[in-house]
Structure 1
Amino acid sequence: MRNRDTFSSCHPVINFLYFALVLLVTMFCLHPVILGLSLAGGVVYAVYLNGRKAVRFSLAFLLPMMLLTLIINPAFNHQGITILTYLPTGNPLTLESILYGVSAAAMLAAVISWFSCYTAVMTSDKFVYLFGRVIPALSLVLSMTLRFVPKFKAQLHVVSEAQRCVGRDISDGGLLRRTRNAVTIFSIMVTWTLENAIETADSMKSRGYGLPGRTAFSIYRFDVRDRTILLWLCFCGLVLGCGAFTGCLSWRYYPTVKGALLTPLTACLLLCWTGLCLTPMAINIHADRTWRTLHGKEAAK
């Protein structure tokens, strides 16, 4: 069961800047604590957004992917000076390659988790609102691409059910018949995809999308809450940027594992990053508590 996400109700600028900041730090910082906190924050927020679906996705996809990354890197990357043993191929198995594999697996899983949250929060109308006037053609194409997968899955379910009613499902008959039915369903879906793209393009063109001076209806307003969150994001971005510039978050794995020492400044940076990763959950928890308090007062009356 999906929870009500208050963070999604923030201004699209806030949502986009938040995910951009989190993803940039996650992809370009190799500090193990940074990656661990990012992975934890992304998984927790994904579970809050999608419930059991996110849990199944994590167990069925993220964990095997992390294990595969952890195995592949030491098998093909033999850098590092701490040799643990030798593989049957004669290549050394180093501690540094294992640790780098763990780091790469955590980074990949964290990025995928945050992107799953991004697709749930940054809907196509928000993306068009942000970039429709700057890059109208590209924003329309990206918007159509982002919403293509869920629409395709829904339409595929409708077509499959319709074909099943007339006895042409992929589970009916022998192998040749099932193959023919699958090709028929695929042909229907390709035709629907092309027609849907043409209809969307014609509809947007008839509405004057992308023309100079065109006005657009918007339900988004930049209120006091959004300004407060924007200040918090700017503060976190400035602090983390200064930390990266000064080398307080530097970390390397080759030829030896070496990183910045744990100083009070580094601890403050990690606390700031923790708060940034938990910002959506903090907003949601605060909104839930406020709602329960107001509901309790109304019930008491």
Structure 2
Amino acid sequence: MEKAFSNYHPIVSFSYFTIILIFSMLFMHPIFVGISLISSIIYALLINGEKALKLNILFGIPMFIFIALANPIFTHRGATLLFYFRGNPITYESIKYGIMSAAMMLSVIMWFSCYNTIITSDEVIYIFGKFIPSIALMISMTLKLIPKLINQTKIIAAAQRTIGFDCTSGNLIARIKGSMRILSILVTWALEEGVETSDSMRARGYGVKKRTTFSIFIFNRQDFIMLIFIIICFIVCFIGYGLGFGKLSFYPRVAKINFSIKAIFIYTTFLVLNTTPIFLEIMEAIKWKSLK
């Protein structure tokens, strides 16, 4: 089953993820951050599966804990003193701000994982190829290289284990030596791969003359409606941010959350924007089940 959001034009999906990532980094408010984090986790689970989600969570949790603990240790602002840590005051406000910052960073990581699943390297080249072809090609090749390096590392590690070199067993020095051996082989492979790619591009005439473009992507009525919907949600949320609904004051005391009619409308719009791909994915799954 295809990912529902992959059926849309690359400009639509790229615009959506760009807006979501900007708002996820811009809003420092419990409701906005909570919506973004929960939505990104649910969507990542739907399109990447439980295994991939666990890997992202395992990577994100240490970062979450580090940021959540680092802020109250290094920032001593706030009126509500809880205790002293090695002579430094730890405040309630700084702890809350640290948790908020950590949740925001985790939501950005989760949205990036969703972006990498939906937006392919071909779509990146299509979007930027006409304007900045060299940069578009570089970004596309970089995004493609990272999973290739990870996969090649697994292959090298498995091959090393068959000849008795396991970097996951033995004492610390043995593990370091095993890891360095794998790294050396990986770097050599990457350099050879780069030379082969360069020769292949040169053989196909890259850089000889001005490049022509060909696209299989067609912007239809469905894409137009979705793009207009995304733009409307963006405008509403951006106006809400300009009116001060996107930020909550944490110092010297944590401000009360605004639940006025305007604020609820902004919260709802942001919720709808974040859950749109989740809704599309669920509808696609229902459609596939009904066709079986």
TM-score, normalized by length of structure 2?
Answer: 0.89
* Aligned residue in 1 for 2:114: 117
Q: CA deviation at 1:162?
A: 3.6
Q: d(CA) in 1 for partners of 2:44 and 2:52?
A: 6
Provide closer, same or farther for how the CA distance between residues 131 and 21 of structure 1 changes in structure 2, counting only shifts above 3 A: same
Provide closer, same or farther for how the CA distance between residues 181 and 218 of structure 1 changes in structure 2, counting only shifts above 3 A: same
TM-superposition CA deviations, 1:147-180 (whole Å, max 9, x none): 2221012222333334444455547999887766
Provide the secondary structure at the position in 1 that maps to 2:86. coil
Aligned-partner residue type, residue 137 of structure 1:
S
Q: CA deviation at 1:9?
A: 2.5
Specify which structure has the bigger relative contact order, considering alpha-carbon pairs within 8 angstroms and separated by 6 or more residues.
2
* Aligned residue in 1 for 2:15: 17
Q: CA deviation at 1:7?
A: 0.8
Q: d(CA) in 1 for partners of 2:207 and 2:129?
A: 7
- Is 1:284 matched up with 2:272? no
Provide closer, same or farther for how the CA distance between residues 176 and 267 of structure 1 changes in structure 2, counting only shifts above 3 A: closer
- Is 1:191 matched up with 2:191? no
User: Relative to structure 2, which stretch is displaced further, 152-161 or 232-241?
Assistant: 152-161
Equivalences, count: 292
Pick one of 245, 251, 263 that aligns with 1:254. 251
1:136–1:209 CA contact under 8 A, matched in 2: no
Gaps of 5+ in 1: 296-301
- Is 1:99 matched up with 2:96? yes
Aligned-partner residue type, residue 42 of structure 2:
V
Q: CA deviation at 1:86?
A: 3.1
Using the aligned pairs only, state the percent identity: 38
* Aligned residue in 2 for 1:202: 199
1:133–1:210 CA contact under 8 A, matched in 2: no
Provide the secondary structure at the position in 2 that maps to 1:147. helix
* Structure 1 residues 93-172: aligned runs within 5 Å: 93-167=90-164, 170=167
2:46–2:281 CA contact under 8 A, matched in 1: no
Q: d(CA) in 2 for partners of 1:262 and 1:206?
A: 63
* Structure 1 residues 235-250: aligned runs within 5 Å: 235-250=232-247
TM-superposition CA deviations, 1:239-287 (whole Å, max 9, x none): 1111112223332212232366221111111111111111111111122
Provide the secondary structure at the position in 2 that maps to 1:140. helix
* Structure 1 residues 62-81: aligned runs within 5 Å: 62-81=60-79
TM-superposition CA deviations, 1:216-256 (whole Å, max 9, x none): 33222212221111011111111111111222333221223
Q: d(CA) in 1 for partners of 2:34 and 2:171?
A: 49
1:45–1:281 CA contact under 8 A, matched in 2: yes
Q: d(CA) in 2 for partners of 1:259 and 1:93?
A: 21
* Aligned residue in 1 for 2:27: 29
Provide the secondary structure at the position in 2 that maps to 1:248. coil
1:169–1:181 CA contact under 8 A, matched in 2: yes
